Amino acid sequence: MKLNNGYEIPSPGFGTFKIPDGDICVESVREAIAAGYTHIDTAAVYANERSVGEGIRRSGVPREKLFITSKVWNSERGYDKTLKACEKSLSDIGTDYLDLYLIHWPANNLQFGDRAEAVNIDTWRALERLVEEKVIRSAGLSNFYASHLGPVLSSANICPAADQIEYHPGLLQQETVDLCRRNGILVEAWSPLGRGFLLEDETVRRIAAEVGKTASQVLLRWCVQNDTLPLVKSVHAERIRENLDIFSFSLSEGQMKEISALPEFRYGSHPDTATF
């Protein structure tokens, strides 16, 4: 897929959330790259950036052929702290640039009161500087809903390239998705399988049987056909390969509508009520 600054971002991405630091993470990343993933997503708070970097090195694939994303954690918000946080992520991963760097969560009114918008804007200014210095190629956001995204857009010199949000058939996030599309911001879908709950849904399983694919492949294909980029995670080689095989089939308009009509639910925290 193409970002609004002209860079291309591979879809789907291989996510590393909750993959423990150490051999399991190293091997999972290596296996994912061997399977054909070229987009690896990590974050400082995942505490596995060193292992992600080691997995990349063991893959034998040149750095320039990969797309690496990381994120600044909430404790490091603000201009100066964000610059230092990015420097540490670069060191831990073992690369001299990131393809995409995200603000992991927006500062909210619950924790910061009237200062929340200013904190987000100050953090965004740091990402803009990192782009200008070519330390990162693209800057983006994560878990920013329309109410958080608006103030950043109004003050930004560089438009965010992506917004990574919880997105799956049970959480369509239409207001945020619409605002992103009006501004050319790519929507990345974290938890596209609904943390696995959607794999047991009767509608999803029936449609999977109709198209001769697995439930996870159907859910990821639904994301792709909705012009979003799914981030998928597994530590099992067979599932890693399976989750990449989503371009050999398509869902009909009727199947897409059925999946989109599934009951609403949220797995992760709401950014307005998050206290971390």
Residue-wise pLDDT for 242-256, tens only, equals 999 999 999 999 999
| CA–CA separation, 37 and 52 (whole Å) | 13
Which position has the token pair 């945020």?
A: 176
Q: What are the residue numbers of the active site? A: 46
Percentage of the residues of the chain whose pLDDT score is greater than 90: 100
pLDDT at 135: 98
| CA–CA separation, 94 and 87 (whole Å) | 10
117-136 residue pLDDT tens: 999 999 999 999 999 999 99
pLDDT at 17: 97
Mean pLDDT across 187-206: 97
Question: What is the rounded average pLDDT for all residues in the chain?
Answer: 98
Task: Kindly list the structural domains of the chain, giving each domain's residue range(s) and its CATH number in brackets, ordered by start.
Answer: 13-260 (3.20.20.100)
Residue type, 138: S
- Report residue 184's pLDDT band, with 50, 70 and 90 as the boundaries: very high
pLDDT at 1: 97
Identify the burial level of 227 via C-beta atoms within 10 angstroms of its C-beta, where 0-12 means exposed, 13-18 middle and 19 or more buried. Answer: exposed
Identify the burial level of 167 via C-beta atoms within 10 angstroms of its C-beta, where 0-12 means exposed, 13-18 middle and 19 or more buried. Answer: buried
- Pseudo-torsion of CA 134, 160, 84, 108, nearest 10°? 170
pLDDT at 213: 98
Question: Which letter does DSSP use for residue 61 in this model?
Answer: -
pLDDT at 39: 98
21-78 residue pLDDT tens: 999 999 999 999 999 999 999 999 999 999 999 999 999 999 999 999 999 999 999 9
- Report residue 199's pLDDT band, with 50, 70 and 90 as the boundaries: very high
